[in-house]
Copies of this chain bind each other. A is one copy, B any other.
Amino acid sequence: MDYAGRISKLASKLDDEGILAALITAPENIHYLTGAPFVRGSAGKLLLVWKEGHATLILTELDYEEAKDSVAGGLELIKTNLFERPLERLRSILPSSSKVGYEEGAMSAAMNDRIGANYVLVPLGGAIEKMREIKDKEEISMIEKAQSINDQAFEKALANFREGMTELEIAAELEYMIRRYGGEAYAFETIVASGPRGVYPHGMPSNRRPSGGESVVIDFGAKYGGYCSDMTRTVFFGEPKPELRKMYEAVRDAQEAAIEEVSIGVTGKELDDVARRVIGDHGYGKYFVHGLGHGVGIDIHEAPTVSASNPNPLSPGNVITIEPGVYVPGVGGVRIEDLLVVTEGGRRNLTKFSREIVVV
């Protein structure tokens, strides 16, 4: 990955604004800029990117060996000892009263208060998130591989789905295959929501056993090379009831219509409008209770969002999901999600699995 290029791009922005260094606290952004691994929810690493174009990573002994073996050359590593926090070490290397960029969305109010006492803090305004919106070839190939793990795992797992299984057992089969095909982690907590639970868009798998034509929303993702994938299919355990079939067709038509429109220059809002109109025409408008999609990369949810709140045009290298859904209380849920790259030619769909109705 082009860590040096990323660091120098950020550094030149700092230089323009007279900022001595940017203090990076979001683990995902530290990973993006250096290759340093992180575990979800991890804290404790601090990255300084200096306006001159070099960078310093302050980390604990616990993380040192893995970081040392993972980061690109040229990065300075400072290892704190067990009785010292990275934040304390910061003071000894960053002159007080200097102008320091900070991540206002990733730094807690408490840390902000503490650091603000010593430095002139300047918000970075999502500068790194902005860079991350446009994926380069190497990043896209990681996401593509992560999505191919999803496709293969789903196909294999589906062959093992049987009426009488619980949602937990469905998750077990699927996740087993994700690991077997090389998923180094799950991109997020697998969702399996059947029957009336299908109206929980984030429903965790339970002991419920779908049957009698109920829908089962299965939303899952693998990580590969530090990058996420994201895919949803809704399958039926038994021949679907007419209402569920109508919902499925509404969602599938909406997804296909929106995917057709993905191209450079179209906005997130416009895509969301397309899908919402189709679902509305099918009579399910009020049951489409979330945005159409989101960007995917190191984070499972990152910019650009594909919803009414995004008036900005898409660019080549954006990687986004298109995932309309319909959730009717008492009936169930249907969601179908593909993962796409925005390209010069329009789009490339990384999801290969069919969106035809599948009956287990």
Interface residues of A (CB under 8 A from B): 37, 39-42, 60-66, 69, 82-83, 102, 104-113, 123, 168-169, 171-172, 175-176, 179-180, 182-186, 188-190, 199-207, 289-291, 300-301, 307-309, 327, 329
Q: Are B206 and A65 in contact (CB under 8 A)?
A: no
Give chain B nearest CB distance to A65 CB in angstroms: 5
8 closest Cβ pairs, A-B complex: A172-B179, A109-B112, A66-B200, A61-B289, A104-B110, A62-B290, A176-B176, A65-B199
Extra contacts, 16 of them, besides A61-B289, A62-B201 (Cβ < 8 A), are A39-B204, A40-B40, A41-B300, A42-B202, A62-B289, A63-B201, A64-B289, A66-B200, A82-B291, A82-B308, A104-B109, A104-B113, A107-B109, A109-B111, A185-B190, A186-B186
Contacts of A66 in B (CB 8 A): 199-203
- Can you list 12 A-B contacts with CB-CB less than 8 angstroms, sorted by A residue number? A39-B189, A39-B204, A40-B41, A40-B188, A41-B301, A60-B290, A64-B289, A104-B110, A168-B182, A168-B183, A172-B180, A185-B189
Residues from chain B with Cβ under 8 Å of A40 in the complex: 40-41, 188-189
Contact pick for A206, options B184, B186, B289, CB 8 Å: B184
User: Chain A interface secondary structure, helix, strand, loop or mixed?
Assistant: loop
Tell me the number of copies of this protein.
Answer: 2
Contact B110 A108 (CB under 8 A): no
Contacts A179-B171, A182-B207 known; A202 to B109 CB distance under 8 Å? no
With both chains docked as a complex, state the minimum distance between the C-beta of A203 and any C-beta of chain B, in angstroms. 7
How far apart are A183's CB and chain B's nearest CB, in angstroms? 8
Q: Which residues of B contact A69 (CB under 8 A)?
A: 200
User: Which B residues touch A42, using CB under 8 A?
Assistant: 202
Assess the B185–A179 pair: CB atoms within 8 A.
Answer: no
Which of B107, B168, B179, B204 lies in contact with A169, CB distance below 8 A?
A: B179
| B65 A327 Cβ-Cβ under 8 A | yes
- Given A199-B65, A308-B83, A188-B108 contact (CB < 8 Å): no
Q: Which of B61, B109, B308 contacts A102 (CB 8 A)?
A: B109
Write the chain B residue with the least CB distance to A66: B200
C-alpha gap A301/B102 in the complex (Å): 25
| B contact residues around A37 at 8 Å (CB) | 202, 204
Min Cβ gap A7→B in Å is 23
> Which B residues are CB-close (under 8 A) to A188?
39-41
Given A172-B176, A175-B176, A65:B110 Cβ within 8 A: no
Q: Are B169 and A180 in contact, with the CB atoms below 8 A?
A: yes
Q: How far is the CA of A105 from the CA of B123 in the complex (A)?
A: 18
Q: Point out the residues of chain B lying under 8 angstroms from A106, CB to CB.
A: 108
Give the residue name and chain of the B residue nearest to A40 (CB): B189
Query: Which residues on the B side are within 8 Å of A113 (C-beta)?
Result: 104
Q: Which residues of B contact A184 (CB under 8 A)?
A: 168, 204-206
Residue of chain B at shortest CB distance from A289: B61
Bound CA span A289–B67, Å: 14
